[in-house]
């Protein structure tokens, strides 16, 4: 049970947030707009010279975020980010007002409930002391140590700690387009670069499993901010790189190249991975072997053909 002081505090918090439901709040710069032109191009960047990603028709309604006086940013479809000219749309202010009112109520009620729960939990914790917390921390440390030991012994974790500490030094870019299972386009400060995932090779477009591999990469990094470890350029001018994406928890970075192998979307290109440290090469080989043995992804298909043979018209091996 709460004491008298805590009861008064909770009551004041509830009254404050109920008052907030009737007070104006700052809204985001998102706007609901309607297309006024008969056809409106969706471009990859805010410039009439940038590639066209798609088209909108007169009467289409969508949410945009202005990026300049003449351009606004949108989400076109479910994956591709685009930009449209603001000359050919009109703002639907009344719709925004409805959304802002609903948002105000939800934020206020949610905030009141959250703070009340925090107050009650804090009081109860003080009453019980910190014995339970210390017990949980000890168990958590033991569990983490056990998992790390098992991973080290199995050879799957080798060398991860060193890379994890260096990831924050790699350039941070945004994935604007996934071309296929091992090629993406990223942007940084309005400059776009084509990236080829290093040391792996995915099935080509038109090759069995090619579309599935592309979808797998979209699911991992489509539209996300990633870090890239660049090794140089290939003979097509693409940057060869290992891509890292942050986990949902935000506590760790995932090696995307390795994930494509372990999910059965790619082969290891042993002919072109000698620049990697030995433990990185060993790990890629172990992951591919595991995917083969477990018949994960493309390995459950009959006679999968490596892309480098498919490109030269050779059949199953």
Kindly state whether residues 305 and 179 are assigned to the same domain: yes
What residues act catalytically?
196, 204, 238
Host domain of residue 252: 163-310
Kindly state whether residues 222 and 279 are assigned to the same domain: yes
- Counting the structural domains of the chain, the total is 2
Res. 180: pLDDT tops 80: yes
Average pLDDT over residues 145-149: 41
Asked if residue 87 belongs to a domain, the reply is: yes
Q: What is the pLDDT of residue 263?
A: 96
Residue with tokens 């792996």: 200
53-62, 219-228, 248-257: the lowest-pLDDT one: 53-62
Tokens representing residue 18 in the block: 């109920």
Kindly state whether residues 12 and 113 are assigned to the same domain: yes
Asked if residue 156 belongs to a domain, the reply is: no
Domain boundary among 84, 111, 128: 128
pTM above 0.85, yes or no: no
Res. 211: pLDDT tops 50: yes
Kindly state whether residues 167 and 33 are assigned to the same domain: no
> Considering Cα of 251, then 221, then 285, then 228, what sign does the dihedral take?
negative
Q: Are 311 and 205 in contact (CB under 8 A)?
A: no
Confidence of residue 100 (pLDDT cuts 50, 70, 90): low
Domain boundary among 128, 146, 175: 128
47: helix, strand or coil: coil
Q: Are 82 and 45 in contact (CB under 8 A)?
A: no
* Segments in 129-209 forming alpha helices (H): 131-154, 160-166
Res. 231: pLDDT tops 60: yes
Asked if residue 143 belongs to a domain, the reply is: no
Domain boundary among 80, 105, 128: 128
Residue with tokens 């991973």: 151
Kindly state whether residues 168 and 123 are assigned to the same domain: no
Question: Residue 85 and residue 47: Cα distance in Å, rounded?
Answer: 9
Kindly state whether residues 284 and 223 are assigned to the same domain: yes
Q: What angle do CA 72, 77, 81 make, to 5 degrees?
A: 40
Confidence of residue 67 (pLDDT cuts 50, 70, 90): confident
140-144, 176-180, 191-195, 295-299: the lowest-pLDDT one: 140-144
Q: What percent of the chain has pLDDT over 90?
A: 43
Kindly state whether residues 87 and 182 are assigned to the same domain: no
Kindly state whether residues 206 and 306 are assigned to the same domain: yes
Asked if residue 68 belongs to a domain, the reply is: yes
Tell which wins on pLDDT, 267 or 18. Answer: 267
Question: Residue 164 and residue 61: Cα distance in Å, rounded?
Answer: 43
Kindly state whether residues 100 and 195 are assigned to the same domain: no
Tell which wins on pLDDT, 259 or 76. Answer: 259
């Amino acid at each position: 049970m709460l004491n008298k002081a805590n009861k008064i505090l909770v009551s004041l918090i509830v009254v404050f947030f109920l008052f907030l439901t009737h007070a104006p709040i700052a809204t985001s710069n998102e706007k609901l707009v309607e297309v006024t032109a008969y056809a409106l191009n969706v471009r990859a960047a805010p410039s009439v010279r940038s590639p066209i990603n798609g088209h909108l028709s007169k009467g289409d309604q969508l949410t945009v975020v202005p990026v300049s006086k003449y351009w606004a940013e949108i989400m076109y479809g479910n994956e591709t980010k685009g930009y449209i000219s603001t000359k050919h749309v009109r703002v639907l202010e009344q719709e925004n007002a409805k959304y802002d009112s609903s948002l105000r109520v939800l934020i206020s009620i949610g905030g009141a409930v959250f703070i009340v729960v925090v107050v009650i939990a804090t009081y109860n914790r003080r009453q019980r002391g910190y014995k339970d917390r210390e017990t949980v921390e000890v168990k958590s440390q033991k569990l983490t140590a056990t998992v790390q030991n098992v991973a080290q012994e199995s050879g799957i974790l080798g060398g991860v700690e060193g890379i994890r500490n260096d990831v924050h030094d790699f350039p941070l870019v945004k994935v604007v387009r996934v071309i296929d299972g091992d090629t993406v386009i990223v942007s940084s400060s309005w400059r776009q670069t084509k990236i080829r995932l290093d040391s792996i090779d995915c099935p080509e477009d038109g090759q069995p499993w090619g579309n599935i591999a592309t979808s797998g990469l979209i699911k991992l990094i489509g539209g996300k901010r990633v870090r890239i470890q660049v090794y140089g350029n290939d003979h097509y001018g693409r940057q060869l790189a290992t891509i890292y994406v942050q986990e949902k928890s935000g506590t760790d970075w995932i090696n995307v190249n390795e994930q494509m192998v372990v999910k059965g979307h790619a082969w290891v290109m042993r002919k072109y991975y000698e620049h990697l440290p030995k433990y990185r090469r060993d790990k890629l080989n172990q992951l591919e072997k595991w995917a083969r043995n477990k018949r994960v992804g493309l390995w459950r298909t009959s006679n999968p053909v490596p892309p480098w043979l498919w490109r030269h018209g050779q059949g199953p091996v």
